[in-house]
Amino acid sequence: MFSSIKKLLIGRPLKSTELGEQKLNKTKALAILSSDALSSVAYGPEQILLVLITVGTAAFWYSIPIAAGVLVLLVALILSYSQIIYAYPHGGGAYVVSKENLGMYPGLVAGGSLLVDYILTVAVSVSAGTDAITSAFPVLHAHTVAIAVLFVLFITLLNLRGVTESASILAYPVYLFVLALFILIVMGMYHIMTGRVSPALHSPIGTPVAGISLFLLLRAFASGSSALTGVEAISNAIPNFKTPAPTNAVKTLMAMGSLLALLFSGIVYLAYFYGVTPKAEVTVVSQIAEQTFGRHVMYFFIQGTTALILVLAANTGYSAFPLLAVNLAKDKFIPRMFTIRGDRLGYSNGIIMLGIFSTLLIIAFKGETEHLIPLYAVGVFIPFTLSQTGMVVKWVREKPKGWIMKLLINTTGAVISFIVSMMFFLTKFAQVWSILLFLPFIIFLFHRIHKHYEAVGDQLRLKTCEPAVPIKGNVVVVPVAGITHVVENSLNYVKSLSPDQVIAVYVHFEKEDEAIFEEKWNKWQPDVRLVTLPSPYRSIIQPLTKFIDTVQRKASESNYQVTVVIPQFIPKKGWHNILHNQSSLLIRAHLLFRRDVVITTVPYHLKK
Amino acid sequence: MFSSIKKLLIGRPLKSTELGEQKLNKTKALAILSSDALSSVAYGPEQILLVLITVGTAAFWYSIPIAAGVLVLLVALILSYSQIIYAYPHGGGAYVVSKENLGMYPGLVAGGSLLVDYILTVAVSVSAGTDAITSAFPVLHAHTVAIAVLFVLFITLLNLRGVTESASILAYPVYLFVLALFILIVMGMYHIMTGRVSPALHSPIGTPVAGISLFLLLRAFASGSSALTGVEAISNAIPNFKTPAPTNAVKTLMAMGSLLALLFSGIVYLAYFYGVTPKAEVTVVSQIAEQTFGRHVMYFFIQGTTALILVLAANTGYSAFPLLAVNLAKDKFIPRMFTIRGDRLGYSNGIIMLGIFSTLLIIAFKGETEHLIPLYAVGVFIPFTLSQTGMVVKWVREKPKGWIMKLLINTTGAVISFIVSMMFFLTKFAQVWSILLFLPFIIFLFHRIHKHYEAVGDQLRLKTCEPAVPIKGNVVVVPVAGITHVVENSLNYVKSLSPDQVIAVYVHFEKEDEAIFEEKWNKWQPDVRLVTLPSPYRSIIQPLTKFIDTVQRKASESNYQVTVVIPQFIPKKGWHNILHNQSSLLIRAHLLFRRDVVITTVPYHLKK
């Protein structure tokens, strides 16, 4: 029944050989991997204005040079990631690049911050999208958390079905959002050029502003760069592209960068020219759209696609998290289960884990995850800095053809990313301090897991020179609860193996029991030695374990192996199990994990 | 660690032979078994007045004849239960008496309603006691549920410690409550006799009242008889008494009946003479106490002991529920685990189950379980009726010396109990209908469990004439995941048993794997046959199960037994287990419950 529900929800299982069919072409890849980056346009420009307004609306013209700075950073990131894609065609996330060029710990810092960041991506994007919906339909406001959780569930199921199918569904809203913003920007420009927008609404560029400082401008720049979260998604996902994967990935990255640059500068420019002031209830994009179209159908189209792309931005996390998890798991830093492909060939464990953690975040913050945005941005810029520093080291070390140009690009990127990261710590410490606690913790965890896997591998590997101690003989201990078919069945089995010694053990709670049982036993199985153990505290496990320890101590002296054969009857129906005391399961679990004895379960299947 | 916390909370484990020391003497038994019955005085008289007030305060004089009716019922119940105690010295609850005299299904009806009733006793009493406390300290009102749950936890722990120790603690509040009410009644009488209470406060007995009807009087009588819940507790608990148990039990029952009769009639009489009108905020007992003493220290003493005895009344459920559960479990109607004595010789499973269910009820009803009182009362009077009818049948059938008198007593009791039960259904159907759904359900459940146990017993019992099919030989299948020490260890073990055939099975996900592994294997273990199975859907279980089925089919043709030997490495620390894929556990669980193969786990304990 479970398997048929599963099939209904996520589709039939796929063979491993069907993997190729699941690869992405460029159009789908652009949709599936860029929703996070593109949706940032919905809040990036607003973040700049929110900082500038602290010194007054006259300072708004600074948004133009700041946006130019963000665009420079964007260009540097895009160029840098193109170089990474060619240099690491099997997936060049910040984790891989930092690890290979800077060493294990910088790699783990990058990997650790990204893992958490993808969870934040999902939680923040879904919550923001839900807010957009509940703003449109205020009756739903009381159910924010439930709606957000349903969205996460929905996206999780889409991803469990597999990447291609989710891409088909996700392509439309992303392209509709791009279309909507393009129409908005073009119409806005048209209004400005035809003189329908009063020039009095904005202060000219270069107007002197009292109270402006470099600190404030850097802070505005850092805030604006939150529009760049998500650009690394493509470089993580190269193995998902159709061949030639690197070329297709770079083309997709360029397309995404161009779209992002166009939309971002268009919105910043319109906001500046319209003199838009950020408000708590109405977003900047909403204000621009309203001034351009009025409360027209186009306004609702823009708001609707914005809400949709915010929810779907969460999907970027679903593409990136499982792939990063595979890389970390292959290097033995997180549990091995993340490397296993599920029925539909996606890395189900990563997908499910991401769904669970982001749901927990949404519930813990009651759907108000917006104040996690600075944490989210700093978690992106730390790996940006590390991976670009890694590329700098790579070029200096390898000095390939044209390396000076490449070095310049990555150095620029690294320096700007580093400054942005530092700006977050300096200007928004109250919101980002937790990463300073969390990163050391997760790296410690990675380290412990790694050490364990290494130790296990070491102990399992055959050192062919060292011969194993041969087993000289076998002693079998059979705990018996009575004179029944179950016990008879087990004894028959034991006799067929003809071990060197068989001991039946009976634990009794009442003194009177002992003699009666011994008599019955000797009539029934005179050839099997019976040991009876008293149990004044009514525990079966305790006297049994003590007895087995004694047997094992003696047996090991002469290299004999002790096997405990447990007779177990298996009820016909699952619910019947709660009617029986499961002593055999308890005995098995207790012995297996604590003693060096072989445990054999002889099932006796009941027929009714 | 778990065991030391357990020891701290419930005390050191006791040997089975220490059982005798836990038996109750009469003084302790009276305290432990009568708190439920005696605490009913706190609400019984009020229930009568609540019905009478619907036709006016002039009708209050009817409380005197109605109380007389309740006393008759009480006398009938006490006499009847004395007869039951002598007739069933090993514990004569309604379940046993009904089952033996009326048959299995009436017995199960009685047993089922009592099981639920004890849960209701705990939930209702604890909630009422909590209300009394939160009325005294209104700041605690917001925490009603938490306080009630803590009380349940506290009583559960007391009972897990064992009956004698809990009795020592419980004796004081019960006797203090009795003392407090005696002082109240004596002082009240003194005031009346010395003429300090105006005779104008009450209408004389016999005053004609408009609108009075037989229906109303019967309803008032039924309501008043809720004061009798709990009188059956002693007859269930006879095995807990010191020898001679029946005599001691009867004496305790008589003492309890006398106390109950005195307190009940005293409160009814004072309420009548003082002309007390029931109010929503102040209980009848509280009003009497206030009129007698004023808001004096004695008033708070009475209120305090009332609150305490209500909470402790819950303890009656803890004495009765586990014992009833043992009786039902011995007759195989509920899971066998209820017959097992815990570390402290109490029937821990019953105690814990009662704690869990009553906590759930308290949480579900948010501590407002007062409107469950009618359900609770009807759940008591159904078994009352059945057990007394059972006694009637017994006397008619056996005709012992003086049976006519005995017959008359039980017939009176049965008839009155039956009328009271019917009155609840007729006058309070909205509150008691659920028992009509619940009883058939629980009896169906009892029936199914019984059938299962019977079937199991039948299949396990040895029919000595029928010989078991002998095992002609052994085939061993070893699933292997690689060439490691774990596998080597298992193969060594298998070879030491020298079975007829050994097959190693390797499941591979990728075609390339196969040849490489086969080559390595043949170099390493040339004498063990290797079978490789492809798994296009990346499942280990599925191809393995299919293969084992084929092997088993062939083996069973020639009476060979198939054993699956699972190599399993055991990590040194518990948390390491989440880092490994537990395939061996999954394989074992899957095979054990579905196939007729023996499962052997060969542990390989890691050292670091």
Which tens digits make up the pLDDT trace of A1-35? 566 666 666 677 776 666 655 677 888 888 878 88
- B459: CB partners within 8 A, 6+ apart: A485, A606, A607, A608
**Interface contact flag, A568 B461, Cβ < 8 Å:** no
Worst-scoring range by mean pLDDT, A269-278, A289-298, B352-361? A289-298
Question: What's the mean pLDDT when you consider all of chain B?
Answer: 84
For residue B373, the model assigns a pLDDT of 75
**A473-605, CATH topology level:** Rossmann fold (3.40.50)
Q: Which residue type is seen at B512?
A: E
Provide the pLDDT for residue A22: 65
Q: Is B465 on the interface with A (CB under 8 A)?
A: no
Contact B608 A337 (CB under 8 A): no
How far, in Å, are A362, B69, B92 from residue B403 at the CA level? 73, 24, 19
Please choose, from the candidates A65, A371, A41, A431, the residue with its C-alpha nearest in 3D space to the C-alpha of residue A214.
Answer: A65
Residue B287 is predicted with a pLDDT of 84
**Interval B556-593: pLDDT, tens:** 888 899 999 999 888 887 777 777 767 788 888 888 87
Please, how many CA atoms are within 13 Å of residue A438, restricted to the half-sphere of its CB?
Answer: 15
B323, B302 contact by CB (below 8 A): no
Task: Say if residues A456 and A543 touch (Cβ distance below 8 Å).
Answer: no
pLDDT of residue B446: 92
Task: Name the band, by pLDDT with cuts 50, 70 and 90, for residue B344.
Answer: low
Q: Mark which residues 542-571 of B lie under 8 Å from A by CB.
A: 561, 563, 568-571
Question: Are A17 and B496 in contact (CB < 8 Å)?
Answer: no
pLDDT higher than threshold 80 for residue A135: no
Query: Does residue A421 contact residue A382 with C-beta atoms inside 8 Å?
Result: yes
Q: How far apart are CA B392 and CA B306, in angstroms?
A: 37
pLDDT band at B531 (very low <50, low <70, confident <90, very high): very high
pLDDT top residue among B290 and B261: B261
pLDDT of residue B9: 67
pLDDT in tens, B241-254: 888 888 999 999 99
Return the exposure string of A10-36: e unless at least 16 CB atoms fall within 10 Å of the residue's CB, then b: beebbeeeeeeebbbeeebbbbbbbbb
Share of chain A above pLDDT 90, in %: 23
Average pLDDT for A155-174: 74
The span from the CA of A449 to the CA of A447, in Å, is 6
Select, from the ranges A340-344, A477-481, B361-365, the one with the highest average predicted confidence (pLDDT): A477-481
Could you tell me which residue, A584 or B2, shows the higher pLDDT?
A584
Which chain B residue's Cα is nearest to A537?
B15
CA gap B152, B315 in Å, rounded? 9
What was the pLDDT predicted at B389? 92
Cβ contact, residue pair A340, B605, below 8 Å: no
pLDDT band with cut points at 50, 70 and 90 for residue A409: confident
Least confident range from A280-284, A365-369, B226-230, B273-277: namely: A280-284
Mean pLDDT, residues A416-430: 84
pLDDT of the residue at A235: 81
Which residue is associated with the tokens 């390595």?
B520
Contact B283, B129 (CB under 8 A): no
Contact A239/B at CB under 8 A: no
Q: What mean pLDDT is predicted for residues A160-184?
A: 79
Please report the residues numbered 371 through 430 in chain A whose beta carbons come closer than 8 angstroms to any beta carbon of chain B.
Answer: none
pLDDT value of residue B18: 63
pLDDT at B281: 61
Question: pLDDT tens digits for A480-512?
Answer: 988 888 898 899 999 998 889 999 999 988 888
Distance CA A194, CA B98 (A): 97
> In this model, does residue B496 exceed pLDDT 80?
yes
Whole-angstrom distance, CA of residue B371 vs CA of residue B361: 12
The confidence score (pLDDT) of residue B530 equals 93
CA–CA gap between residue A315 and residue A355 (Å, rounded)? 11
| Residue B262 neighbours by CB distance under 10 Å | 15
**What would the pLDDT profile of B437-492 be if each residue is shown by its tens digit?**
989 999 999 999 999 888 888 887 776 545 667 788 899 999 998 888 889 889 99
Chain B positions in Cβ-Cβ contact with residue A597 (cut-off 8 Å): 603
What percentage of chain B carries pLDDT values higher than 70? 92
User: ∠A576-A582-A583 over CA atoms, to 5°?
Assistant: 155
Burial B502-529 (b: 16+ CB within 10 A, else e): bbbbbbbeeeeeeeebeeebeeebeebe
Could you tell me which residues are beta bridge partners of residue A503?
A477, A529
Q: Show residues of chain A in contact with B537, CB under 8 Å.
A: 13-16, 343
User: Does the pLDDT value for residue B257 go beyond 70?
Assistant: yes
User: pLDDT-derived band of residue B107, with 50, 70 and 90 as boundaries?
Assistant: very high
The length of chain B is 608
Interface of A with B in 130-159 (CB under 8 A): none
pLDDT of residue A164: 54
For A300, the token pair is 């609702």
**Mean pLDDT, all residues of chain A:** 84
* Domain residue ranges in chain B: 2-453, 473-605
The whole-number pLDDT of residue B416 equals 83
pLDDT of residue B493: 92
Question: Cβ separation of A492 and B486 shorter than 8 Å?
Answer: no
Asked whether the bond before A244 is cis by omega within 30 degrees of 0, the reply is yes
| Residue in chain A nearest B509 by alpha carbon | A16
Q: How far apart are CA B105 and CA B331, in angstroms?
A: 13
Burial string for B533-564 (b: 16+ CB within 10 Å, else e) reads bebebbebbbbbbebbeebbeebeeeebbbbb
Stretch B339-352: mean pLDDT: 79
B274 torsion bin: left (phi>0), alpha (psi -120 to 50), beta (else): alpha
Mean pLDDT across A120-147: 80
Among all residues of chain B, which has the CA nearest to that of A498? B497
Using a CB–CB cutoff of 8 Å, tell me whether B576 touches chain A. Answer: yes
**CATH architecture, domain B2-453:** Up-down Bundle (1.20)
Helices A245-274/A284-293 angle, 10° precision:
70
Residue A370: per-residue pLDDT: 61
Residue A346 three-state SS: coil
Of A336, A470, A599, the CB nearest to B579: A336
**Token pair of A402 as six digits:** 């044209």
Centre a 10 Å sphere on the Cβ of residue A472 and count the other Cβ atoms it contains.
12
Contacts of B11 in chain A (CB under 8 A): none
Q: Whole-prediction pTM value? A: 0.73
Q: Which amino acid is at B413?
A: G
| Mean predicted confidence (pLDDT) in A561-578 | 84
Q: What is the pLDDT of residue B166?
A: 54
- SS3 for B569? strand
Give residue A283's pLDDT. 75
Helix-then-strand count for chain B, H and E:
22, 5
Q: Which residues of B touch A601 (CB under 8 A)?
A: 588, 592, 598-600
**CB proximity A534 to B under 8 Å:** no
Question: Is B605 in CB contact (< 8 Å) with chain A?
Answer: yes
Structure tokens at B602: 């060969």
DSSP summary character for residue A88: -
Burial class (CB in 10 A: 0-12, 13-18, 19+), A235: buried
Token code pair at residue B533: 């199975």
CB contact under 8 A, B598 and A599: no
- The confidence score (pLDDT) of residue B505 equals 93
The ipTM assigned to this model is 0.73
pLDDT at B163 over 60: no
Residue B108 has pLDDT above 90, yes or no: yes
pLDDT of residue B395: 92
In the three-class reduction of DSSP (H, G, I as helix; E, B as strand; rest coil), residue B294 is classed as coil
Distance from CA of A366 to the nearest CA of B (A): 23
